[in-house]
Amino acid sequence: MSLGHQQVDDGTADSLRDAFTGLVARLRSGDLGSLPVVAGLVVLAVLFQLLNPRFLAPGNLVNLTLQAAPLGVIALGTVVVLLVAQIDLSVGSVSGLASAIVGVCAMRLEWPMTVGVLVAIAAGVVIGAFYGFLLNRFGVPSFIITLAGLLAFLGVQLALLGADGSINIPFSNPLVQFANAWFLPPWAAYVLVGVGMALMLGSDLAHRRRRILAQLPVSHPSLPIAKAVALTVALCVAVWYLSIDRGTGAMPVLFVLLVVVMSGMLHRTRWGRSVFAVGGNVDAARRAGIPVGRTLVTAFMLCSALAALGGVLAAARLGSATTSSGAADTNLNAIAAAIIGGTSLFGGRGSAWAAVLGVLVISVISSGLTLLNLDSSVRYVITGAVLVLAVIADSVSRRSRLSHGRG
Amino acid sequence: MSYSFGEGAPYNSAGGDPRGPVVSMRGISKSFGHVQALRNVDLDLYPGEVVALVGDNGAGKSTLVKILAGVHPQDAGTVTFEGRQVSIPSPAASRELGIATVFQDLALCDNLDVVANLFLGREVGGAVLDEETMERRSWELLRQLSARIPSVRMRAATLSGGQRQTVAIARSLIGDPRVVILDEPTAALGIAQTAEVLNLIELLRERGHCVVLISHNMADVQAVADRVIVLRLGRVNGRFRAPAMSYEDIIASITGVLNLEEGTPEDDIGERGSL
């Protein structure tokens, strides 16, 4: 038997057909990828646009990106914890605590803003490390540990905020400016898209080159180029549309950069491989010599740190840290976003991009219902229903995978 | 790290290697609470042979290989590896020595592809993985094993039972072990797939590995084993050597009708033929 398809550069038709049949086979076996989410997003957008023509207006979409970013950062951390088949129910409280810390550091102690942000993120890292320690040392389910954390850190948040219950951060504060008033000028946004896509194409082609050198089968060179061109066009249209209003916000760009970095860490590094292995089969990972304990601790540390950063961004966006920061629906919205985006509750399946897709769905629903002047009661019910749908989709696709093979 | 098979000439004369056994276990005992799982068991393993461990449920087969695999330590007795007395406190220590164990559950990560499973815990590259090298080596390894895997980028979940067994065995070979322990490798397989795995076992023997095979299936055992060790109630209750072993004798030994070991000198290991 030769090395798979030994011919390194076969005909276009063949490799394109291979790519297509591979895709069909994957879809049939229940591995739907992000297709249902993207389809759902389109349906939701069309629906809300029909109900209120202002929904797809540039101004509303700019607001939507600004509103989505803090929650997206929290959801990104949640994705990592779900990947190792654990859960963190305290991301909301930790984000609220982080916003309180930033408020106290910046306004009461009058420390420089960056110090306040770093202290808040460090608090998140410590909290995550503590969760990981409890999990490894005592084997307490993360569900319970983080439920306890939810209460405890809400208490710390309330104590920090004191009797006033809120700390206002003036609009002139650089952090608040960053979250509300920093927009990339259109040329800079186009340059960013261009550079980003060039880097992606370069990385794809370098990867292809390494495979050719290793005499491994490769796809046709037109595929990565087509992907880069399509994404460039889509992103340029998005930048253009947003620039009709205020433009591309700095905070959403930060979120996407974090996602890109996390995606690289998950799919390219030894650490990322351990994350998927631990989430897929923890006993197998342990027997294979994967440092399971360390992987769990780092996953929780990243999750809490990102939750803290999300809380800081939320406080910045709001211009204040209050007792309701990170309260109520933040927790479930972040977890829902991760799951809706395609991260499996059963562990070992998902990607950093799930946070982007999921948080878009949550934000679209929230923004659309707000435009319709619907009460938050309706919003809760609908978000809950969407979450149930996503979890059902996860379970059904898992069952379909089970019936198409084991696993 | 090497993925190649053992160097040097293969040893087809089972148990006849002049260099002596790879592994020598002497007087191994192990209890779990009040249950004595192993009593004073001796076992020698030579390069290039297939040793079948058979016995009824609870006879101590799994306990014996778990001691070799570093899952739990023995209460009494010694293990000698390549002439030197060793302790095997952990699975990692067992692997370090050159003992690879494929447990019945195969320990594959279903969400990972074949390459990732083969190199799990032994990934090539620094902090950033060298996927190309791993994929290339995976192809080479599977080709050497004549494995029928359509793509090494398939997720383990999509493989058939025989393919999963092959991947698990292939993975055990990545550290170039001296001893490969297979726990019930054919239990969940159909006829064709069983034949493939048995071929694979013979291939391992030809390459000079010592294969320890735990099996309930006497047909499989008779097909590939050079020696059969029967455990009964934690003791060695019979030792047979191919081709003279008969199905009836082995079964009699397993059930306790036949007792070959009573009064056998402790050091008379593996040299007794069949009746």
Please indicate whether, in this complex, the C-beta atoms of B111 and A276 are within 8 angstroms of each other: yes
Is residue B129 within 8 A of residue B181, CB to CB? The reply is no
Beta-carbon contacts of residue A25 (< 8 Å; ≥ 6 apart):
none
Please indicate if any CB of chain B lies within 8 Å of the CB of A288: yes
Is residue A284 within 8 A of residue A277, CB to CB? The reply is yes
What is the pLDDT at residue A66? 94
Hey, what CATH class is A56-182+266-403 in? mainly alpha
In this structure, is residue B130 part of a structural domain? no
Q: Is A164 helix (H, G, I), strand (E, B) or coil?
A: coil
Please indicate whether, in this complex, the C-beta atoms of B123 and A3 are within 8 angstroms of each other: no
Please indicate whether, in this complex, the C-beta atoms of A289 and B129 are within 8 angstroms of each other: no
CA pseudo-torsion sign A296, A298, A300, A306: negative
Rounded Cα gap, residues A196 and A345, in angstroms: 31
Token pair 């679209």 in the structure block, residue:
A364
Confidence of residue B261 (pLDDT cuts 50, 70, 90): low
Please indicate whether, in this complex, the C-beta atoms of B132 and A213 are within 8 angstroms of each other: yes
Whether residue B1 is predicted with pLDDT greater than 50 in this model: the reply is no
CB-nearest partner of A289 from B92, B128, B143? B92
In this structure, is residue B162 part of a structural domain? no
Q: Is A326 exposed, middle or buried (0-12, 13-18, 19+ CB in 10 A)?
A: buried
Please indicate if any CB of chain A lies within 8 Å of the CB of B116: yes
CB-nearest partner of A289 from B103, B105, B121? B121
From the CA of A101, how many Å to the nearest CA of chain B?
34
Token pair 């292939």 in the structure block, residue:
B170
Please indicate if any CB of chain B lies within 8 Å of the CB of A271: yes
Confidence of residue A218 (pLDDT cuts 50, 70, 90): confident
Whether residue B273 is predicted with pLDDT greater than 60 in this model: the reply is no
Phi-psi region of B241 (alpha: psi -120 to 50; beta: other; left: phi over 0): beta
Whether residue B275 is predicted with pLDDT greater than 60 in this model: the reply is no
Q: What is the CATH number of the domain that holds B206?
A: 3.40.50.300
Please indicate if any CB of chain B lies within 8 Å of the CB of A40: no
What is the pLDDT at residue A121? 97
Whether residue B269 is predicted with pLDDT greater than 80 in this model: the reply is no
A290-301 pLDDT, tens digit per residue, is 899 999 999 999
What is the pLDDT at residue A19? 66
Rounded Cα gap, residues B115 and B155, in angstroms: 9
What is the pLDDT at residue A189? 94
How many Å from the N-terminal Cα to the C-terminal Cα in chain A?
28
From the CA of A291, how many Å to the nearest CA of chain B?
9
Pick from A215, A268, A270 the residue to mutate for testing the B interface (most B CBs within 10 Å). A270
Query: In 3D, which of B122, B126, B127 has the Cα closest to residue B137?
Result: B122
Angle at which helices A353-371 and A35-51 cross, to 10°: 20
Which structural domain range is residue B239 located in? 23-102+175-255
What is the pLDDT at residue A229? 93
CB-nearest partner of B91 from A215, A287, A349? A287
Q: Is B39 helix (H, G, I), strand (E, B) or coil?
A: strand
CB-nearest partner of A214 from B111, B120, B132? B132
The H-or-E segment that residue A315 falls in is helix A292-318
Query: In 3D, which of A20, A23, A24, A31 has the Cα closest to residue A404?
Result: A31
Query: Chain B residue closest to A265 (CA)?
Result: B128
Is residue B167 within 8 A of residue B159, CB to CB? The reply is yes
Kind of pairing, strands B50-55 and A183-184? unpaired
A137-150 pLDDT, tens digit per residue, is 998 999 999 999 99
Please indicate whether, in this complex, the C-beta atoms of B135 and A214 are within 8 angstroms of each other: yes
Query: In 3D, which of B222, B221, B239 has the Cα closest to residue B230?
Result: B239
The H-or-E segment that residue A257 falls in is helix A250-268
Please indicate if any CB of chain B lies within 8 Å of the CB of A34: no
Please indicate if any CB of chain A lies within 8 Å of the CB of B110: yes
Query: Chain B residue closest to A213 (CA)?
Result: B132
**Number of domains into which chain B is organized:** 1
Please indicate whether, in this complex, the C-beta atoms of B157 and A407 are within 8 angstroms of each other: yes
CA pseudo-torsion sign B163, B167, B173, B179: negative
Rounded Cα gap, residues A230 and A208, in angstroms: 19
Is residue A154 within 8 A of residue A327, CB to CB? The reply is yes
Rounded Cα gap, residues A397 and B7, in angstroms: 46
Query: Chain B residue closest to A288 (CA)?
Result: B121
Question: Which chain A positions have a beta carbon within 8 Å of B111's beta carbon?
Answer: 276, 279-281, 348-349, 407
Question: Which chain A positions have a beta carbon within 8 Å of B135's beta carbon?
Answer: 211, 214, 216
Please indicate if any CB of chain A lies within 8 Å of the CB of B257: no
Rounded Cα gap, residues B270 and B226, in angstroms: 11
Whether residue B267 is predicted with pLDDT greater than 80 in this model: the reply is no
Please indicate whether, in this complex, the C-beta atoms of B158 and A276 are within 8 angstroms of each other: no
Q: What average pLDDT does this structure show over A367-390?
A: 85
B52-79 pLDDT, tens digit per residue, is 999 888 888 889 999 998 888 899 999 9
Rounded Cα gap, residues A50 and B113, in angstroms: 44
Please indicate whether, in this complex, the C-beta atoms of A270 and B121 are within 8 angstroms of each other: no
Please indicate if any CB of chain A lies within 8 Å of the CB of B107: yes
CB-nearest partner of B128 from A210, A269, A404? A269
Please indicate if any CB of chain B lies within 8 Å of the CB of A273: yes
Rounded to the nearest integer, the mean pLDDT of chain B is 83
Query: In 3D, which of B96, B254, B158 has the Cα closest to residue A407?
Result: B158
Rounded to the nearest integer, the mean pLDDT of chain A is 88
From the CA of A6, how many Å to the nearest CA of chain B?
11
Pick from A18, A210, A216 the residue to mutate for testing the B interface (most B CBs within 10 Å). A216
What is the pLDDT at residue A258? 97
Please indicate if any CB of chain A lies within 8 Å of the CB of B146: yes
Domain residue spans of chain A: 56-182+266-403
Please indicate if any CB of chain A lies within 8 Å of the CB of B85: no
What is the pLDDT at residue A386? 81
Please indicate if any CB of chain A lies within 8 Å of the CB of B14: no
What is the pLDDT at residue B272? 43
Count of C-beta atoms within a 10 Å radius of residue A63: 17
Whether residue B113 is predicted with pLDDT greater than 60 in this model: the reply is yes
Please indicate whether, in this complex, the C-beta atoms of A288 and B121 are within 8 angstroms of each other: yes
Query: Chain A residue closest to B175 (CA)?
Result: A288
Q: What average pLDDT does this structure show over A212-218?
A: 86
Rounded Cα gap, residues B106 and A73, in angstroms: 37
> What are the residues facing B41 on neighbouring strands?
B28
In this structure, is residue B264 part of a structural domain? no
Please indicate if any CB of chain A lies within 8 Å of the CB of B139: yes
Q: What average pLDDT does this structure show over A265-276?
A: 95
Q: Is A5 exposed, middle or buried (0-12, 13-18, 19+ CB in 10 A)?
A: middle
What is the pLDDT at residue A297? 97
What is the pLDDT at residue A392? 86
Rounded Cα gap, residues A242 and A251, in angstroms: 14
Question: Which chain B positions have a beta carbon within 8 Å of A288's beta carbon?
Answer: 107, 120-122
Please indicate if any CB of chain A lies within 8 Å of the CB of B1: no
Token pair 């290039």 in the structure block, residue:
B48
Whether residue A215 is predicted with pLDDT greater than 90 in this model: the reply is no
| ipTM (interface predicted TM) | 0.85
Residue A141 sits at the vertex; the CA angle it makes with A135 and A142, to the nearest 5 degrees, is: 70
What is the pLDDT at residue B244? 77
Please indicate if any CB of chain B lies within 8 Å of the CB of A287: yes
> What are the residues facing B212 on neighbouring strands?
B51, B181
From the CA of B151, how many Å to the nearest CA of chain A?
7
In this structure, is residue B107 part of a structural domain? no
A161-197 pLDDT, tens digit per residue, is 988 888 999 988 899 999 999 999 999 999 999 999 9
Give the type of residue at B188: A
